[in-house]
Structure formats: structure tokens, C-alpha cells
Structure 1
Amino acid sequence: MLEFDGLHKRFGSNHVLDGVSFAVQPGSMFGFCGSNGAGKTTTMRIAMGLARADAGEVRWRGKALDQDVRRRIGYMPEERGLYPKMKVGEQVAYFARLHGLDAGAARRASDEWVARLGLGERRGDQVEKLSLGNQQRVQLAAALVSRPEVLILDEPFSGLDPIGVDSLAEALLDQCRGGVPVVFSSHQLDLVERLCDSVGILARGRMVATGTVTELREREAGRLLRVVVPDAGHGWTDGVPDVRVVSERNGDTLLELGPGADDQAVLAAALRSSRVTHFAWQQPTLVELFREAVAVPTAAEVAA
């Protein structure tokens, strides 16, 4: 597997990474989430040897990454690393050659990925003449062209239109089906939720949550209850212990239940008020899980 083990990194007094650890199984996709400045890019740069960790290491198949292993990794940086005057097809083939493919194999792989990512008609154009979204596709083709054993992608979906998103998503799923572990960072949490087998949320240099979306939801289960009582008056939950009304509109009420709350007591109160048309635990979205995970702790929480 691909392992990030106890990474620490400081820039002056700023502790950018504080013991970051996670693992990605072969054939799985890992979504790396965090606010701007959380440390996602630094983590990926350490994996690729573009930054040096103060402590910890990154391993593939139990071996610390060295230059030989990194040649077999498909990497896409957040900032574009393309040659603007070079033609699209030639550029992708050039990156394939850098990863060890011979001239014929590089040309064939370039043609395949340029076409697959929707750039077939632009293969003879200089990169600088492309839109930013199409330049992003070229960068992605350069990461995928060498038949990598591992993919590490920093914001790969940024700037892509819906068709580009779909074609890239299918390409990454194909890589996973072939046994390649994929790590990508993204602020597009709906994509992370849809595509990824597991998720890591980074905040203030620390991994504050890891696991599948289902596992993260289960950790938050039992907190939010949605109750629809169309004909109930305001305040029907008054008197039910340890229950807080999060939102209420036209009889549709979202409740947060504390440790001492009893969902059956809530149901009984709702039935006393009027007929109940909906009563179910509310599954948090990845966006809601993210907001809670990265929330800045209060002074009291830090002291505790």
C-alpha cells in the first residue's frame, strides 16, 4: 500500500504538518480534503521529493520513496508545469519519455490519453493557445501517460467543465480497477463523496478525520433527527430533555439530540402534537462532516 507515516514539517514557526498519517490500498481512491493552507500540497510535495519532511516518511510497498520509485508515480502539481510553446501531443509524449517509455510507446500513449481526455483535435496546438480548462487536461494526460503504479494529484478537477470532470473521473476509476492507488486533493466535496473509497480531512496540519464516508457518518450518527409534523404548532418539542431545534419551517423540524435525549420521547411529543409524516435520523453530507471537522476549537475545548 501507499503509506504516509507521521509526517512533520515546519516553515519557521509555522508547524505545517503535525504527524500526518494515512494509507491508501492498491486499487482504491483516497480523497484528501482540507481548507486552504491546511498542508495538503506540502504532503504531496514531500511524497514527490519536492520538499523534505522534518520527520516521518512516505512508503510504497513497504519501501521509502526514492527517485526510482518516484519515476513510477503519476504526479500532477497544483500549479501547472507545462511548456507553453510546446504542442499538446509532443508535450505529453515528452513526459512519457521522462518516465522511461521509448519513443514509439510514448507517442502511442500520448495519442491515447490526448484523445481520451477530449483533446484529440488540439494535439497539434501549442499549450499557451488552450483555455485554462484544456491546459488542465494536458497536465492530467502528462500524469497518466506513463502507466503509473501510483497517482498523486493535487486539485485535478479544478477548472474542468462537467464533461471534463466525467472523463477524468472515469479515467481515474479505470486506474483503480487496474490496481493503482489514487490520492487526490479537492475542494469539490461532492466529487470526493461520489468517487472515493476513503477520505482524509486535514486541519491545522493534523488529520482530524479519516475513513470511508459511511464510517465518518456513523461517528456522527444519532445527533440529527428530522421530524415532519405538518399541523404542529411552534414549540412542540418544549419539555423534551436535551433536545435543540436546529431549524423549523412549515412543520419540518431538524433536531439535535444531546447525550441525554430519548428519540422515543421526541416521537411521543410529536404524536401528541399532530400526525407525523416523517421521522428519521438525518445523514450528514461530507460537506457537513468537513465543516465540523475543520471548525476552529474554542479556548475551552483547547483547555479541555
Structure 2
Amino acid sequence: MEAMISVNKIGKYFKDKKVLHEISFDVHKGEIMAILGPNGAGKSTTIRNIMGIMYPDEGDISFRQHQGVPRNKIGYLPEERGLYKNVKVMDILLYLADLKDYPLKKAKQRALEYLKKFDLEGKENVLVEELSKGMGQKVQFIASILHEPELLILDEPFSGLDPVSQELFKDEIRQLAKQGTAILLSSHQMNLVEEMADRLFMISKGQKVIYGTMDEVKMEYANFKCTIRGHNERSMLEGLPDVERMKQSDNTSILYLSKHVHPATWLKNLPDDVSIQELVFDRITLHEIFIDVANGKNLMMEAGEMDA
């Protein structure tokens, strides 16, 4: 698969403090790649280096095997929204398209199509400041994709959106990837990332923690857990084989199991008198993996580094 952008061992210093340590990953054509990490992990610094807002002190970034990333090939939806408030919607869209050297006639046609698609038909002459927060976010999203970028960087794209608008965004992001756009997605909404991303790169304290496909990450780092609904004494369950830790509240017990447990075999350990109204056996979520990283749990030491 063609690498649209390659980040190769970049390092970055702020004064005498190193904030990025040999960060390397690729974003392929037609894939959704998630970049994740706690606040202050280095995600925004990495994105700014890709954007050319700042430059790495070590390593390099290439676009289709050429040094540097042409700005007219990138679409960017920043976390902090920044549309001019006293400008009409169509005027700001055409202005931003023009900055990317995109034909204005084609930009206007595409803008009208996208405004209709995102339930903003008839809003082209409305001032940005008159839009709701969700509407404003839709306009900025349209601005980021209007010029048909080859690389699209989305920083918290779902923030502040209602469920219907989230579905619109997800559908459009998937469609763009299907058409060949390389998408770099940064979000703290782990359920949406887990649902959408093909691969992920997780960073903590400026260093790579996890890098691989979603399936690889789940297999490598997401141990099984068994959730039992029913009234059971804690002592009955926490002493079972391969139970590393346990959470219990009301009538629900969550048993976090050791690595490489075989579900069908392990279930035979349950006592005959265990109360089961409902039982779910699955792997821990990406959200729980993220929490482990944020709390400083060294997943690499436990699981070994994964090639990707």
C-alpha cells in the first residue's frame, strides 16, 4: 500500500527539553490512521511538524517519498475552530479554497453540494457568527475537504457534534478514505476511533507506545475480560484462576484476565452456584488501553513491541 506521508524518526526540542523522541509512522493512501495519546503527549506537536507550522530538529517528513508536504495537498480541521465570524459562509469557503490554489468555479459547485449534504442548504449567505456551534463545525469540515486534499488531518472532528451529525461526519470520512484520501485522525473519543480507524499510533511523553492495525493492537494488548451480571460474593470470583483484577458494583462483576486465556476453557472455572443473569466475554476496549497509557502502564514491557 502506498505511503502518502512518512514520518521518519522525528525529534523536537523546546529550549532544552526534548518533547518528541524518534517518532516514526506512515499514513497510507485510502486509510484512516489514528494518532492517540493523553494531553501533553506530543500529538499536536507531531501534527504541527507535518503541517509545516514548525519543523523537526531531528529526522524528516516526506510526502510520496519527496521531502516536505505541499500545503495545497493537505486538508486540516484544527481542534480550535478559527473561521472568521463576520464573513458569509460561501465567502469563507471560497477564500480558503483559493488559498489552496483550487479553481473557484469548481469550489463553489462543491461547496453547494456539501452544504446540502450537511443540512446547511440555504446557509451560504449567512454570517459564520450566526451559525450554531455544530453548524460552524460542519462549515469548517467542508473547508478542510473542499479542495480535494490527498492528506486530511482531523483534530477532534467529533467534538460538540450531536449523534446525527457524528454519523454524517463518519460517513463522509469513510467515503473520502474509500476514494483514496489518506486520513490522520486525532480524537479522545475512543469508541469512535475504535469503530473507524484502520491503524493507530499511540504516543505518550513524546514516545511511541503502540503502533499497528486495530486488530493487531486488540490481539496484542487487549486482554480478555468477563462481565457477569448477578449477585455474587467478591470472594467467590476474585480467587478464580487467571483473574488479575476485579471490579464490582451493584450486581455486576468485571473480571480482568491474564494474557492468552482461552475463553471456552476458562469459563469451566466458574462455580456451579455462580449467579448469572447475563455474561459477556470480550476484550478490553481501546478506551481502557488508553487509560492504561495515560496512567503510565508500560504496555511495551508487558507485550513486546509490535511490527507494523
**TM range, normalised to the smaller chain?**
0.7 to 0.9
Task: Please name the residue that 2:220 is paired with.
Answer: 219
CA contact (8 A) 1:96 1:142 kept: yes
Cα distance in 2 for partners of 1:48, 1:274 equals 56
Runs of 4 or more consecutive aligned structure 1 residues displaced over 6 Å after TM superposition: 259-265, 275-280
Residues 31-66 of structure 1: per-residue CA shift (max 9 Å, x gap):
222222221111111111101111122222111224
SS in 1 for 2:59: strand
- Superposed CA offset, 1:11-32 (max 9, x none): 1243221222211221110122
Give the corresponding residue for 1:236: 236
Report deviation, 1:262.
9.2
Going from structure 1 to structure 2, the CA distance change for 1:14 and 1:137 (only over 3 Å counts) comes to farther
1:215 deviates by 1.6
Decide whether the 8 Å contact of 1:89 with 1:114 is kept in 2: no
Instruction: Give the whole-Å Cα distance in 1 for the aligned partners of 2:88 and 2:229.
Output: 63
Distance 1:93 1:232, change over 3 A: closer
Which region of structure 1 is more displaced relative to structure 2, 277-286 or 197-206? 277-286
Partner SS state of residue 19, structure 2: strand
Q: 1:110 to 1:272 in 2, by over 3 A?
A: closer
Bigger mean CA deviation after superposition, 43-52 or 265-274: 265-274
Range that drifts further, 282-291 or 152-161: 152-161
Tell me the SS of whatever aligns to 2:270: helix
Structure 1 122/235 Cα, relative in aligned 2: closer, same or farther at 3 Å? same
1:141-180 paired onto structure 2 within 5 Å: 141-180=142-181
Q: Say which of 50, 53, 62 aligns to 1:50.
A: 53
2: CA distance between counterparts of 1:229 and 1:136?
Answer: 40
> Could you tell me which residue of structure 2 aligns to residue 99 of structure 1?
100
Match of 2:65 in 1: 62
AA in 2 matched with 1:132: K
Alpha-carbon offset, residue 281 of structure 1: 4.6
Change (3 A) 1:191 1:273: same
**Residue identity matched to 2:141:** L
Larger radius of gyration: 1
Measure, in 1, the Cα distance between the counterparts of 2:270 and 2:92: 65
Per mean C-alpha deviation after superposition, the further-off stretch among 264-273 and 143-152 is: 264-273
SS of residue paired to 1:122 = coil
Q: Which amino acid aligns with 1:25?
A: H
User: Alpha carbons of 1:93 and 1:122: their partners in 2 closer, same or farther (altered >3 Å)?
Assistant: same
Label 1:25 to 1:249 Cα distance change in 2 as closer, same or farther (>3 A): same
Aligned residues: CA RMSD: 3.0
TM-score, normalising length from structure 1?
A: 0.84
Counterpart secondary structure, 1:114: helix
Aligned partner of 1:23 in structure 2 is 26
**2:258 and 2:143 mapped to 1: Cα distance?**
51
**CA distance in 2 between partners of 1:177 and 1:262 (Å):** 36
What residue ranges of structure 2 are gaps of 5+ in the alignment? Answer: 302-308
Q: Tell me how far apart the structure 2 counterparts of residues 261 and 193 of structure 1 sit (CA, whole Å).
A: 23
C-alpha deviations, 1:105-143, integer Å up to 9, x for none?
A: 122122222222222222101112222222221211111
Select between 231-240 and 197-206 the one with higher mean Cα deviation: 231-240
Contact map agreement 1:27 1:181 (CA 8 A) in 2 = yes
The one-letter code matched in structure 1 to 2:287 is: V
Unaligned runs of 5+ in 1: none
CA deviations on 1:159-214 (whole Å, 9 max, x unpaired) are: 22222212121111111111111012111111111111112222111121122332
1:219 and 1:281, CA in 2 relative to 1: closer, same or farther beyond 3 A? farther
1:236 CA displacement: 2.9
Cα 1:255/1:90, change in 2 over 3 Å: same
Q: Match for 2:109: what amino acid? A: R
Q: Which amino acid aligns with 2:100?
A: H
Secondary structure of the structure 2 residue equivalent to 1:235: helix
How far has the Cα of 1:271 moved from its partner? 3.6
What is the rounded CA distance, in whole Å, between the counterparts of 2:101 and 2:31 in structure 1? 25
